[in-house]
Amino acid sequence: MLFNKNKNAKNSYIKRLLTALTFTSIGIASTLEAQPLRNRTILPEHYAPNLIWDGGNNPHFNKWAPVGSADPTAKVFGNKIYVYTSSDSKELCQIRNNKQKKHSYAPWANTGFCMPGYQVYSSTDGNLHQNNWQKHGLVLRQKDVPWARKANSGWGHSATMWAADVVQGDDGKYYMFFPSVRADNNHQTIGVAVANSPTGPFTARSGPISTANGFDHVFDPSVIKIGGQWYIFYAKNGAGGNKAIWVAKINSNFTQINTPKDLELEKGKYLEGPHAYKVGNNVWLQWASVTASPQGPYPGGYQIKHAVAWNNNNPHHNFDQRGILVHPFGKPGTNHGSVVWWNNKFWAFYHDHVNGRNNNYNPNAWNQTHNYRRAMYSLVDVDWSKRGQIKSFRPDRVVQQPSRGN
């Protein structure tokens, strides 16, 4: 009503508003254009049979469906690079009972994710051409984890196998650290599976890592050995829906943690997907950070951030030199990644949400196409003259072999 009485004031306000919006748009565009672009290569797709219910008592597999790859963790063992990803595919849990519908994996019925296990890729190619990856299929399934919750039916029997990590233990065996949901209380927790080879198959232990010292409601593990001590980084649920990144010592048998510490990175924000690695003699850490409300859709998007602990013998030391490693791209942005030193280069692995849970995604509709995330990778520049500062980038065009261009 005030504007109706004062047209000049109204016109002046509108002009100021339009001017502000114009400069804001220019600023946003300039920021995006200023972000260094880097091309990317997508890991090959796995295919697996999806489950169809014939209306009777017996299910059967009726077709091969693409399986997404999420939460990529890259590791080098011997003369090969290995990438471990979550399976992430609605088709793996699809059934038909008069009509297609999504399984309900309470308490995760509305997440839209169907992640029943982990798959592995390997390569000896120093340039990591897309065609030179070997696919090893699913090497651990939730249905084979004794302590994990099970659904009443459905391929894999449940689907809460999120970001995992793999290390070679002191005994030479390979240990996979993975999060899932406990059958006894529906809490998120972290378990361990063991194999004689980096490509598995991995056999899960009878129970998860001990929940002593507050190791409960935890997920997304990353394990690293520093000196003679093993450490585990992980995400932990907090108040108000927030999640924080923690670190703790873990014994060499990987059964119990001690001296846990909240690293207090971006306090009060939604964080997940930590990954610890070394650059020279320093321990680096990256994590996924939501730039807006974690309640979907994500208007601000995910981005991958990083920090450095210069005192590499004490990961409990505060991390500094925080910044962005991978800028958001697509609608909801990037999430969950890792960095690895391979063939005298640093490579960043990460996944997108463009083919997954974007603004047009309906988690209850099975007629959506490409409802899964894809793992991909780019070369990373590290500026040694600035104490190992990493150069951020925004993923750009898709190529078969990464280069430092876009």
- Residue 45: CB atoms within 10 Å: 14
In residues, how long is the chain? 406
Same domain as 150, residue 13:
no
- Least confident residue range of 96-110, 116-130, 293-307: 96-110
Q: HSE (CB half, 13 Å, CA atoms) of 95?
A: 18
In this structure, is residue 158 part of a structural domain? yes
How far apart CA 371 and CA 379 sit, in angstroms, is 27
Q: What is the mean pLDDT of the chain?
A: 76
What's the sign of the alpha-carbon dihedral 88, 94, 100, 102?
negative
Q: For the chain, what is the radius of gyration of the CA atoms?
A: 22
Mean pLDDT of 104-110: 40
- Least confident residue range of 86-100, 113-127, 380-394: 86-100
DSSP letter at 392 equals: P
Instruction: Indicate the pTM of the whole model.
Output: 0.83
- CATH number, domain at 267? 2.115.10.20
In this structure, is residue 403 part of a structural domain? no
How far apart CA 118 and CA 239 sit, in angstroms, is 30
Q: Nearest-CA neighbor of 112 among 274, 338, 297, 293?
A: 297
Residue holding tokens 């999640």?
243
Same domain as 339, residue 381:
yes
pLDDT the model gives residue 290: 77
How far apart CA 86 and CA 88 sit, in angstroms, is 6
Band of residue 209 on the pLDDT scale cut at 50, 70, 90: very high
Same domain as 270, residue 136:
yes
Band of residue 94 on the pLDDT scale cut at 50, 70, 90: low
Mean pLDDT of 229-255: 90
Same domain as 47, residue 30:
no
Three-state DSSP class for residue 296: coil
Mean pLDDT of 363-372: 42
Same domain as 253, residue 110:
yes
Three-state DSSP class for residue 36: coil
In this structure, is residue 140 part of a structural domain? yes
Structural domain boundaries, residue 27: 1-34
DSSP letter at 32 equals: H
Residues in Cβ contact with 364 at an 8 Å cutoff, skipping those fewer than 6 apart:
102, 110
DSSP string spanning 198-223? TT---EE-SS-S--GGG--SEEEEEE
Number of domains observed in the structure of the chain = 2
* Residue 147 CB-density burial (10 A; 0-12 exposed, 13-18 middle, 19+ buried): middle
DSSP letter at 35 equals: S
Same domain as 159, residue 226:
yes
Same domain as 15, residue 76:
no
| pLDDT single digits (tens) 283-309 | 889 999 877 544 444 445 678 998 877
Q: Nearest-CA neighbor of 250 among 298, 297, 215?
A: 215
What's the sign of the alpha-carbon dihedral 353, 355, 356, 357?
positive
Same domain as 52, residue 17:
no
In the chain the first and final C-alpha atoms are separated, in Å, by: 53
Same domain as 134, residue 91:
yes
Q: Nearest-CA neighbor of 337 among 135, 89, 40?
A: 40
Band of residue 101 on the pLDDT scale cut at 50, 70, 90: very low
How far apart CA 47 and CA 69 sit, in angstroms, is 11
What's the sign of the alpha-carbon dihedral 176, 288, 370, 106?
positive
Mean pLDDT of 224-243: 87
How far apart CA 237 and CA 179 sit, in angstroms, is 13
Mean pLDDT of 227-256: 90
- Pairing outcome for strands 282-290 and 302-309: antiparallel
